Structure 1
Amino acid sequence: MREWWRDAVIYQIYPRSFQDDSGDGIGDLKGIIRRLDHVASLGVDAIWLSPFFTSPDLDMGYDVSDYKGVSPLFGDINDFDALVEKAHDLGLKVIIDQVLSHTSDQHPWFQESRQNRTNDKADWYVWADPKKDGTPPNNWLSIFGGSGWQFDTRRHQYYLHNFLTEQPDLNFHNPAVVDALLDAMKFWLERGVDGFRLDTVNFYVHDADLTDNPPSDWEVFPNNPYEAQDQEFSKSRPENLEILKRLRDLTDQYPDRMMVGECGEMGDKQVRIMGEYTSGGDKLHMAYSFAMLSPEHTAEHFRHTIEVFQETAPDGWPCWSFSNHDVARHVSRWTPKGADPEAVARQSIAMLCSFPGTLNIYQGEEIGQTQTDILWEELQDTANAQFWPEYKGRDGCRTPMVWEKDAPQGGFSTSDKPWLPVKAPQLARAVDTQEDDTNSILNAYRRTLAFRKSRHELRYGKTEFLDLPEPLLGVIRSEEDSAITGIFNLSNEPQRVVLKKELRPVGPMVGSVEGPVPGKSGKSDDCVVDLPPFGFVYLDGKAEI
């Protein structure tokens, strides 16, 4: 029997920004419950909840201080249980974040570990002596800037932090640490969660010898010095595979559960690691890709990314996404000056639905939401403040979901000041303005997701590509004796494609298909596809050029 997650569409909910029912300006679990009918109406199969655990929130919940606790900001454990029940009643699976590579420095484990070098948890984190001149043990850097090491005066040692100094890294070379994390995951499995999204899954194991990282192959020095290194020794270590196998052993004890891992790497290396982590049936069920979360928006990029994964992991499984809580929204990233962002939004979901694997959409993209322009005085993502203004952090993609155009704060909250502002460009795309408009982005998402679900070729089929020139992407999905072809114009200029045989258009489309017309041979068997800026068509059958 085919696993449910293999052709699932997962909807990411950022709890802080989805719906505030308490009136404090911060979204909560009761608010999510109230809005789950909207999520189900899209035709998705599961929700992914970003962290709601007990945390000091220096990194918005990705600094966990209690793996089994619900932050009072979001509610309590009873609210979580009610959310799972409501989701399951609506036919939605529930996936939750697990931030296992590091904890908050307020976690009791770290509070004990830092006291001295002899306590029971002394080796639960990555501690190392200074060099003789007092400098850190090696050259590893933090993603959020500066050294990846912080000196602690109690132990007279440095501890490793790949992210904030307040996010010390756990020591996965210690089996007791892995046991404790497995116990935390079991707690949530017993409460009925259907899967885990594993944050920074390739950061778990570090090189025990603390070897210096070599420089990366940069030509212009990056804004963030972290990118000037190839993190060969600080992450993506081969020992990580054994940890993933232990996690898989746990989830396999529960029916129909899954794990999707976030692999934080660049370029082809990330795609290869995705394959390595999901192949063999004994590690992750699938891997979440960053490859399509970049500004790059070319046919070659999308084709290359998928083909590299297929070549390196024929039995692995990917999860593709265009937007999430860490990157600028794709409608803003990919809409060139003078182009129509709604055209980009419609094409994006149509293109995503043509890709093989599991799909992920981020709250708000179903209404064509754009990136919010955040001012310095509005900044909440202080983890990245030192890179301002060249990089304005992640707040712009995390602003509240907008439900009702004429309600205070767009229906998100009754508070006069939500945690991030609701601004006019975002308010204009409120859900209630799109519900009854058949041409809205919201209804385009519903139609496109329903179309994907109705076509077994798009859910199960093998994938190949038409050899089309830029800016045209042609994706063929074939299953047994049937096929479907998607053709996408990734530009703001009209494009024409001439095919060798007539194919009938099916499903959503923004363009026209004419045929048969006289072909090169003089026979009337050619098919002409005309695509406006960011247009697309699906064709019933395997196209040839």
Structure 2
Amino acid sequence: MNMATPVERDAAQVVDKDWWRGAVIYQIYPRSYQDSNGDGVGDLSGIIHRLPHIASLGVDAIWISPFFRSPMLDFGYDVSNYRDVDPLFGTLGDFDALIHRAHELNIKIIIDLVLSHTSDQHEWFQESRSSRDNPRHDWYMWADAKPDGTPPNNWLSIFGGSAWEWDGERQQYFMHNFLKEQPDLNLHNPDVQDALLDVARFWLDRSVDGFRLDTINFYFADEELRDNPVCPPELRNDSIAPSVNPYNWQEHLYDKNRPENLDFLRRFRALMDEYPAITSVGEVGDAQIGMQIQAEYTSGDDKVHMCYAFEFLAPDQPSGNRVSQVLSKFETVVSEGWACWAFSNHDVVRHASRWNLGEKAQRVYAALLMSLRGSVCLYQGEELGLTEAYVSYEELQDPYGIRFWPKFKGRDGCRTPIPWSGDGPNGGFTDGKPWLPVAMEHLSRSVANQDRDDASMVSFYRDMIAFRKAHPALIKGGFEMVESDADVVSFIRTAEGGERVFCAFNLSNTAQPIRLPAGDWRQDRGAPFTATINDKGVTLPPYQAYFAQEDR
């Protein structure tokens, strides 16, 4: 096959248009996965080299964080060319080879599209800023200053400070929800929408299987530029921005979450529907009305397929009651929509550290994640039980952390390279100097150290993913809450074919009794957990799960 040309979609891979529903998706942060050329930065060839490990987990798809051309001020989330691979990561030929090899291993590829903003180095912005009457003059969110020279309104950037930056060339402010080098596109302009849809088509023609849509609720801002109201202190939530950032002090009614987005999402879905078995997962960045947005964006079959949920990315460890609250609210608010659940990703402290979980606790929470109604995202290294790494200020790369250090240390601690072996200072990640240090405490948890140990964390994840796949009820089935308290949560998953699976989780460090629902239930011994069963019922040891099937 000529790797310089787009890869033809392999019809054998197209089996189920709903393959995404209940899928397990493995997120790769390419800078930190595997370096293949010794420059200290992971790349696409490195991912190809490590595909056997991913395949061994049994996941359905890979989500790859951005690898497009970029100045890398936000490490790829500042795109300067949507239609090319940054040389740091390889070439378009490498991407085609990655698609081809992944499909051979029955792994689908989801790429991370950043459509709300670009880099200020993108040719679109360079033209837009050149004058107020050029063909792309309104491709970005430009506004005049107030009479006193201050920004047009009170909108704030997630990365700190005003969401407006003065441009001396145009003598106007431009909007940026993130870094000032990441100007926001103006999707009110149909030409901008068309250009972004053309970008999506470019990658669909290269046989990608779907898109993770970054900051999907940020696509539109209020054309009247109205000020955001104050968010009452009791409603502030730091799952989107850290508490040191006053971004949380506003109710974000006008700088995001705008109703105009629904029509654009319908256009995006119509494009995807021209291709077989494509999916999309939108990242809804909102701690106040996120679930309502999920409901709007995933309702029916004409917008995005699923949304990436933030409820379990929050700082506090979810108790049984909290899990019940989130799941019950989801069933009520989102109803027929679909979630993509995650505990960790490239933007938050790894949940093993964030929730202070030991290995047994990590396992029971992983089992809970694999049992939820929705699809699942695992972040690279989660399967190894990696903790948050310490990165000194001198080694820090993340501009977010540099700005708010030391109250907020940024996102580098969850982005350190994956340890493939326990040997050497770089754990098999690179022969050069890694862009972030490899955490020494991670070396003992390397893939090589765990790979052939049936009792290891990675073996547990393989077993738990296989268990999920063995039960249609856990993949696409319905959901019914049974009971919850601070320590325990239990529910039933039901498949259309009649399979019913009872799932119970002891999230505490003491043994807990479990009440079985009415019916004739027998323990499913395929799950990698223990329980004590007698005529008095079921007792779960600390941090254990119990699964049972109903005899019918």
Shorter-normalised TM range? over 0.9
- Which of the numbers 523, 526, 534 marks the counterpart of 1:505? 523
- Which residue does the alignment assign to 1:288? 308
2:479 touches 2:491 (CA, 8 Å); kept in 1?
Answer: yes
- Which residue does the alignment assign to 1:318? 339
Partners of 1:288 and 1:212 lie apart in 2 by: 27
Q: Deviations over 1:57-95 (max 9, x none)?
A: 000100000000100000000000000000000000100
Partners of 2:137 and 2:378 lie apart in 1 by: 41
Amino acid at match of 2:470: S
- Which residue does the alignment assign to 1:436? 452
- Which residue does the alignment assign to 1:362? 379
Amino acid at match of 2:474: L
Alignment of 1:106-125 (within 5 A): 106-125=121-140
- Which residue does the alignment assign to 2:362? 345
Offset at residue 316 of structure 1 (A): 1.1
Partners of 1:90 and 1:453 lie apart in 2 by: 17
Pair 1:538-2:551 in alignment: no
Amino acid at match of 1:284: V
- Which of the numbers 29, 47, 53 marks the counterpart of 1:14? 29
Q: Deviations over 1:406-434 (max 9, x none)?
A: 1451010001x200101221111101111
Identity of aligned residues (%): 52
Amino acid at match of 1:536: A
2:23 touches 2:376 (CA, 8 Å); kept in 1?
Answer: yes
- Which residue does the alignment assign to 2:491? 475
Partners of 1:101 and 1:149 lie apart in 2 by: 15
Q: Deviations over 1:300-355 (max 9, x none)?
A: 2222222222212322111111110000111111225xxxx211221122111110
Q: Deviations over 1:144-168 (max 9, x none)?
A: 0000000011111100000000000
- Which of the numbers 348, 354, 379 marks the counterpart of 2:396? 379
Comparing 33-42 and 298-307, the one that deviates more: 298-307
Amino acid at match of 2:301: G
- Which of the numbers 265, 278, 286 marks the counterpart of 2:298? 278
The number of residues matched between the two structures is: 527
Alignment of 1:392-541 (within 5 A): 392-415=409-432, 417-479=433-495, 480-499=497-516, 503-506=521-524, 507-515=526-534, 517=535, 526-532=536-542, 534-541=543-550
Amino acid at match of 1:14: Y
1:213 touches 1:234 (CA, 8 Å); kept in 2?
Answer: yes
Runs of 5+ in structure 2 lacking a partner?
Answer: 1-15, 237-242
Offset at residue 504 of structure 1 (A): 2.7
Runs of 5+ in structure 1 lacking a partner?
Answer: 518-525
Partners of 2:47 and 2:540 lie apart in 1 by: 42
Q: Deviations over 1:103-127 (max 9, x none)?
A: 0000010011111101111000000
Amino acid at match of 2:274: Q
Alignment of 1:233-244 (within 5 A): 233-244=254-265
Partners of 2:498 and 2:205 lie apart in 1 by: 43
Offset at residue 527 of structure 1 (A): 1.7
1:399 touches 1:420 (CA, 8 Å); kept in 2?
Answer: yes
2:140 touches 2:186 (CA, 8 Å); kept in 1?
Answer: yes
Alignment of 1:60-75 (within 5 A): 60-75=75-90
Alignment of 1:37-186 (within 5 A): 37-186=52-201
SS at match of 1:40: helix
Offset at residue 468 of structure 1 (A): 2.9
1:41 touches 1:446 (CA, 8 Å); kept in 2?
Answer: yes
1:509 touches 1:538 (CA, 8 Å); kept in 2?
Answer: no
Partners of 2:161 and 2:247 lie apart in 1 by: 8
Give the TM-score of the pair, scaled to structure 1.
0.94
State the superposition RMSD in angstroms.
1.6
Partners of 1:386 and 1:2 lie apart in 2 by: 44
Offset at residue 498 of structure 1 (A): 4.2
SS at match of 1:111: helix
1:198 touches 1:259 (CA, 8 Å); kept in 2?
Answer: yes
Give the TM-score of the pair, scaled to structure 2.
0.93
SS at match of 2:313: coil
Partners of 2:320 and 2:528 lie apart in 1 by: 18
Offset at residue 35 of structure 1 (A): 0.2
Partners of 1:26 and 1:429 lie apart in 2 by: 21
Amino acid at match of 2:177: N
SS at match of 1:343: helix
1:505 touches 1:513 (CA, 8 Å); kept in 2?
Answer: no
Comparing 176-185 and 483-492, the one that deviates more: 483-492
1:511 touches 1:529 (CA, 8 Å); kept in 2?
Answer: no
SS at match of 1:411: coil
Partners of 2:219 and 2:371 lie apart in 1 by: 33
SS at match of 2:484: coil
SS at match of 1:434: helix
Offset at residue 272 of structure 1 (A): 1.3
Partners of 1:530 and 1:454 lie apart in 2 by: 23
Partners of 1:65 and 1:261 lie apart in 2 by: 22
Q: Deviations over 1:259-303 (max 9, x none)?
A: 110000005x11111111000110001111111111231122222
1:295 touches 1:334 (CA, 8 Å); kept in 2?
Answer: yes
SS at match of 1:182: helix
Amino acid at match of 1:333: R
1:509 touches 1:535 (CA, 8 Å); kept in 2?
Answer: no
Comparing 379-388 and 143-152, the one that deviates more: 379-388
1:20 touches 1:26 (CA, 8 Å); kept in 2?
Answer: yes
